[in-house]
Amino acid sequence: MDQNSFYTLANGVKLPVLGFGTWQSPNGEVATNAVKTALEIGYRHIDTAAAYGNEESVGAGLAASGLAREDVFLTTKLWNKDHGYDQTLAAFEMSLARLKTRYLDLYLIHWPIAHERRTDWKDTLLGTWNAMIKLYKDGRIRAIGVSNFRPHHLEHLIRNTSVTPMVNQIEYHPGFWQKYVVDFCRDLGIQIQAWSPMAQGRVFNLPLLKELSAKYNKSIAQICIRWELQKGVNPLPKSVTAARIKENFSVFDFTISDEDIAKIDALPESGATGYDPDSFIYPS
């Protein structure tokens, strides 16, 4: 595996193995420069979302890089208030306009609809997914998927529509890697992406990771990213600091032993840093 390696999605689309996340990167110069720097360093996969409020800046960073659009894998996500068939189609157009692109490489449903908030979540979610299927079949999105979905959410889509999600982006890091979700997805050929691959910094206090950092002469962040890559996951590290952006990409010159992979796997459950998909209170 090297910086030019890909995962092949179920429909044959190639996804760069390491992505660049932009969550909490403020819209404006900061996000634009971070994306431009990432692309200059060698990242070819940029992940954003309507909810991040920075699609304009991500698009500006892509334009400023000078790279051809087809050389960058671009992902964004549908926000919760835009669920439903017609709403999804409209939200997609708005994201394209903000990103200044004619198509997306990957479009994700950001969150399933919380049962506690909506009694019609199943019907609404099907409307959303059918709109995404239309956009996919029309050639406006190269791949479609979901984020923060558990097996029961996925089963509902799979049983009632014609296209299985190609990606599920979930919280995934040492101490919380949702094995039951991963196993379910892999059985169906759904690629796992990792948001919060360093648990928002929480992993930096884990003694095992400090030990492995010293052993491999790599940062704890690099150990986490490399572990995720060796688990067949697509990590999306985020930074707005050039040195850290570069460090997070410098993970292709070492390999973690199978024994040490198993040690990381066996870390005690530390819990999620984000919301529970079944209890998150969504905006109305």
Confidence of residue 278 (pLDDT cuts 50, 70, 90): confident
pLDDT at 97: 98
Q: Which long-range contacts (CB under 8 A, 24 or more apart) does 199-202 make?
A: 199/173, 199/174, 199/175, 199/270, 199/273, 200/273, 202/173, 202/175, 202/270, 202/273
pLDDT computed for residue 26 by the predictor: 85
pLDDT (0 to 100) of residue 74: 98
What confidence score (pLDDT) does residue 284 get?
45
Residue-wise pLDDT for 85-139, tens only, equals 999 999 999 999 999 999 999 999 999 986 666 778 889 999 999 999 999 999 9
CB 115 within 8 A of CB 277: no
* 3-state SS track over 129-148: HHHHHHHHHCCCECCEEEEC
Q: What is the mean pLDDT of residues 147-163?
A: 96
The predicted pLDDT at position 28 comes to 92
How far apart CA 37 and CA 34 sit, in angstroms, is 5
Give me the mean pLDDT over the 215-232 stretch. Answer: 98
Point out the residues that are catalytic: 52
Q: Which residues is 182 bridged to in the sheet?
A: none
Report residue 243 CA to chain centroid gap: 22
For 255-261, what is the mean pLDDT? 98
Structural domains in the chain? 6-201+233-255 (3.20.20.100)
> Mean pLDDT throughout 50-62?
97
Segment 45-60 mean pLDDT: 97
CA distance 176 to 268: 8
Residue 282 has pLDDT above 60, yes or no: no
Residue-averaged pLDDT of the chain: 94
279 band by pLDDT with thresholds 50, 70 and 90: confident
- Tell me what the mean pLDDT of segment 261-266 comes to: 98
Give 161-216 pLDDT, tens digit per residue.
Answer: 999 999 999 999 999 999 999 999 999 999 999 999 998 889 999 999 999 999 99
Three-state SS annotation for 163-215? CCCCEEEEECECCECCHHHHHHHHHCCCEEEEECCCHHHHHHHCHHHHHHHHH
Q: What is the pLDDT of residue 120?
A: 82
